[in-house]
A and B are shown apart, each in its own frame.
Chain A
C-alpha cells in the first residue's frame, strides 16, 4: 500500500459512500471496504486495472475523468478521493470543483514538485527531474500538470475550497519527517489534502 493511502484512511468514516477517481487495481477501495465498510465505486481507464478491480468484487466503471463526471449527481458521495492523479488530468482545477460537487468532502494526493530534490535537480542540472518517484522523461510522462504545495493551496484559496487537514509524506522511508511537517513545500515528497466547500 502506498504511504499516502494509509494516511487518508483515518479521514474516511465507517459506512460512508466513497468515489475513487483513478482507482487503479482497486487496492485502496478494497482496504476501505475491509476496514471501514464503505460503499465504494471506482472509475478507471486501464483495462488490466479494471479487470483486477472487478475481480476483487469492487464496483468499477470504465470512465475517463477528463471527459467529465457529469453522470455523478450532486452530493451523491460522502468522500471523493483522487490519489496521485491530479498531476495527470487535463483540467486539475475543474476536477477539484467536480470532486466537491459530487462529494461532501474530497481527498487529494499529489507529488510535490517543490520538494528540494526536484529544485536541486532542475537548478543544478538544468534538466527536468527524474527520480524514483517520478520515473518518466518530460516527453512521455502522463504527469502533465505538476504543482507544489504552495501552488495547490493558492488554487484552493482562489476557488474558495476549505482545507480541513494537510498531511505530508517526506523522508526516504516514506514516513512523515519533522522537516516535511515544518516546511512541506520544501520537504514533502507527497502532499495529502482533506478538502471541502
Chain B
C-alpha cells in the first residue's frame, strides 16, 4: 500500500512518551511512584479542546491504533475505524490512543526497570485494574489539556475501561462507546483466561516470571495461551469459512503415511509464535487478571442500574451476533441497565460471522452504525 495515495489513513505516525512523577495509588493498595505512558495522537485538537476522543485498547492492544510507523507494512490495530472519513473521523476528532500501564509496548510495565531494585519489575509489577488505567488516562488528559473527552471509546476490555470512565469521571466525557464488552466476565470467560495463564505459568522457561533475569522467554507457554485465546475470538462459522478441513500438508490417501497437518493447525501455530515474539508473558498474565477482576457494579451493591445512575454521558453499545466470548446477551445487560437508570443509550447488534474479532473488521453495517453515532458527537452537545 502506498501511503501517499491512501487518503483514508492517518499516514505516518510516531509515538510520544509522557512521564509522570506524581505517585499513582492503585486499586491493589500499592503505589507507582513514577511511570511513563506511551501514546499516539491523530488529527488536530481544536481551539476549544472539545474534540478529543480517547481510544482504550483491549487485552493485547497498544497505543499504535492507526496509521503506519516508519518502515511498517501493516497499519495500527484499529485502522478500519480511525482515519479521515472513518467512524472515528480524524478530520473532526483529535484521537488519543495509549498503551496502558502494565503493558509491554513502551508504557511502564513488567519489562520496565523497578527503581527500587534496579532490575526489571517482572512478576513484582503491581496488579492492575481497569480503574487504575482510567486514572492514569485522566492524568494523560490533564497533560494534554483535555478537560472533557468528546467520547471515550473501546472494544472488549477497552469497552470496560470506557464504562469505568463514565462512572469515575462522569463530568469528563460526553459520550461512551462500548463495543463487544460486558459488565463482568462469565465463568466460562474466567475459565478460558485461566487456561491461557496456566499455559504460561507451567512453561519451565517462565520461572515464576523471572525469565527476563535469565535471558529467556516462555515462548511455548505464551504461544499456547494465544492459541487458546485466538480460538475464542473467532466463531465456528468464521473458522469453517477460513480453513474448513483443508490440509496444509500430507494426505489421507490409503497407503500414504505422510504426516497430516490441517490449515487451522498451521494458522494457530503461526499466530501463537508471532505473538510470543512480540508480547511479554508477565503482561499477558497481568492483563488477563485485570479482565477477570473487572466487575462494573461490584462497588455499587452489585447493581448495574445503581452504578450507571452516576453516569452523565450518552452511550452507544454495539455487539456482534457470533461473538461468544462477549456475546450480545452481555451487551444487552449493559443496555438494559442503562435504560433502567434512565440514561441515553443506543444499541445495535451487528450480524457478523467474525466472532469477537468482528470489532476490528470492516463490516459495512458496523462501520455505518458507528459512523452514524459519531456524527452526533461534538455536534449535538
Contacts and interface: CB of A to CB of B under 8 A. Distances in A.
A151 B65 CA distance: 59
Nearest to A60: B346
Given A47-B365, A59-B314, A54 B336 contact: no
A57 B335 contact: no
B380 interface: yes
Given A59-B346, A61-B346, 15 more contacts: A17-B342, A51-B365, A54-B372, A54-B376, A55-B375, A58-B346, A59-B314, A60-B346, A62-B348, A62-B349, A63-B347, A71-B332, A71-B336, A76-B339, A76-B342
Given A41-B339, A47-B365, A71-B336, A61 B345 contact: yes
A73 interface: yes
A164 B332 CA distance: 35
Interface in A20-72: 39, 41, 47, 50-52, 54-55, 57-63, 71-72
A123 to B, nearest CB: 44
B379 interface: yes
A52 B335 CA distance: 20
Contacts of A71: 332, 335-336, 339-340
Interface of B: 314, 316, 332, 335-336, 339-340, 342, 344-349, 365, 368-369, 372-373, 375-376, 379-380
A41 B314 CA distance: 12
Contact of A57 (B340, B345, B365, B379): B379
Q: How large is the interface on A (under 10, 10 to 19, 20 to 34, 35 or more residues)?
A: 20 to 34
Contacts of B376: 54-55, 57
Contacts of A54: 316, 346, 348, 369, 372-373, 376
Contacts of B373: 54
Contacts of B369: 50-51, 54
A61 B347 contact: yes
Given A51-B369, A51-B372, A54-B369, A72 B379 contact: no
Nearest to B343: A59
Contacts of B345: 41, 59, 61
